[in-house]
Structure 1
Amino acid sequence: MKIIIADGHRLVGKSVSCLLRSMLPSIDVETANSGAEAMHLYAAHSPDALITELLLPDYSGLELCRRVRQRWRKANIIFLSGMDDVSMIKQALSVGANGFISKNCAPEELLSAIEETTSGNVYLEHNVAMQLAMGQLDTVDARLAEMTQREVEILILIARGESNQCVAKRLSISVKTVSNHISALKGKLEISSSLELLHFAVDSGLVRYGVRGSAGTASAFG
């Protein structure tokens, strides 16, 4: 079995890789530190499963999932994330994820997710499934739930300090499209400035202060 793990934190990726090798000695694991690297490895190795974080250094795991699905329709993609609020789980499933588990899960649950999804099933960690079933959304989550996948991705990148031109290049869309999405975001969130967008991104857990990003003010994390 071949697995690719995409996580912006090298230590996390290597740790998950070592964990999987200890449970499945015959497994072949490759680690990627960005979405672009994950795409390159996927093309080179044709893995049985891609395990990705929601937030990556270049573009989001949502965008990675979308790009992989475009090229490889039968791709098996599992999100392993530190973010497990309902709105983000729904975003992941909407772009074609086969599974979603949190980084708080037991090692055996990660193995179960791989086994189930590679057998053609969808796998959700028990707590994740319960959240979806009960619809536990707080005020911030409810506002996130109204956003499209593309709007979430653009919010993350803008909050990191990326210019509209850089966001357009990363997501392969036009600068005008980025501007239109930002205007739509401000309208949905009843926000009038870029600073307020940053504050919302921090409050919702999409980015945090104190870690250098491209602008040195905030950085996405998992």
Structure 2
Amino acid sequence: MIKIIIADDHRIVLDGLSSLIKATNEIEIVGLANNGQEILDLLHDREVDIVVSDIEMPIMNGVEATKLIKRQFPHVKMLILTMYSSIGFIRKVLEIGAQGYILKNKGKEELIDAIKTINDGDEYFGREIEKTLRQSLKKDNIFDVVKLTKREIDVLKLIANGDTTPIISEKLFIAHSTVETHRRNLIEKTGVQNSKGLVKYAFKNGYTLE
């Protein structure tokens, strides 16, 4: 029996995935989590083979959770189940040790197949993910075309982390007005509408805290 934890910050997603997986006889759900911290808490007292996790979650996102899981529980395998299909984001997740990556818009068969494949010791990427990875090999610049300065990237990562202007100012030792200038420049460069758009942009392109 393959023992898994499912993590997502939307209850309806957890319920839906649970129903799909419970219909199989080879996989057992041993825990449900709403964020990365809850995943770690569960791993401390349960036998787990695979964590199926979303990325964009509160308190601790899937990227941060994956890093800690691979460090503290190296035997546990990670399957990322998300909406994001951009190459920057895919590479970011693979670099930190995830064994699989599939999109939420796929069916039950792919999810079950991914879990079984990863449990057998192989990696699993959905067809769209494999296509994106192949296309990226043909390009020199696989990350976003937008060119950001090092300081803009620092600010963007902290925005994605949920930090406010005063907190960013304190962490980077720059004035509040400078933070706001960087924020405006980032919005203009990336073409998003607001700070919420910057958060989504950061996740899609792999700009999250190490």
TM over 0.5: yes
The equivalent residue for 1:65 is 66
Cα 1:146–1:202 shift into 2, 3 Å: closer
The equivalent residue for 2:23 is 22
Whether the aligned pair in 2 keeps the contact of 1:208 and 1:221 (CA below 8 Å) is: no
Q: CA deviation at 1:129?
A: 0.4
Are 1:34 and 2:35 counterparts?
Answer: yes
Whether the aligned pair in 1 keeps the contact of 2:117 and 2:123 (CA below 8 Å) is: yes
Cα 1:221–1:86 shift into 2, 3 Å: closer
**Aligned partner of 1:142: which letter?**
D
Q: CA deviation at 1:25?
A: 6.8
Q: Secondary structure at the match of 1:96?
A: coil
Q: Secondary structure at the match of 1:23?
A: coil
Q: CA deviation at 1:157?
A: 5.0
Q: CA deviation at 1:74?
A: 2.0
Tell which structure's C-alpha radius of gyration is larger. 2
Indicate the percent of aligned positions where both proteins have the same amino acid: 25
Cα 1:201–1:107 shift into 2, 3 Å: farther
**Aligned partner of 1:70: which letter?**
R
Which ranges in structure 1 are unaligned for 5 or more consecutive residues?
168-174
The equivalent residue for 2:208 is none
Cα 1:11–1:116 shift into 2, 3 Å: same
The equivalent residue for 1:193 is 182
Which ranges in structure 2 are unaligned for 5 or more consecutive residues?
205-210
Q: Secondary structure at the match of 2:44?
A: helix
**Aligned partner of 1:3: which letter?**
I
Q: CA deviation at 1:27?
A: 1.6
Whether the aligned pair in 2 keeps the contact of 1:99 and 1:123 (CA below 8 Å) is: yes
Q: Secondary structure at the match of 1:16?
A: helix
Cα 1:166–1:192 shift into 2, 3 Å: closer
- Within 1, Cα distance between the matches of 2:203 and 2:11? 13
- TM, length-normalised to structure 1: 0.70
- Within 1, Cα distance between the matches of 2:192 and 2:128? 22
Q: Secondary structure at the match of 1:142?
A: coil
Whether the aligned pair in 1 keeps the contact of 2:79 and 2:99 (CA below 8 Å) is: yes
Whether the aligned pair in 1 keeps the contact of 2:54 and 2:80 (CA below 8 Å) is: yes
The equivalent residue for 2:117 is 116
The equivalent residue for 2:144 is 142
**Aligned partner of 2:93: which letter?**
A
The equivalent residue for 1:10 is 11
The equivalent residue for 2:207 is none
- Within 2, Cα distance between the matches of 1:97 and 1:116? 13
Deviations 1:97-131 (A, max 9, x none): 00000001121000111001111101000111011
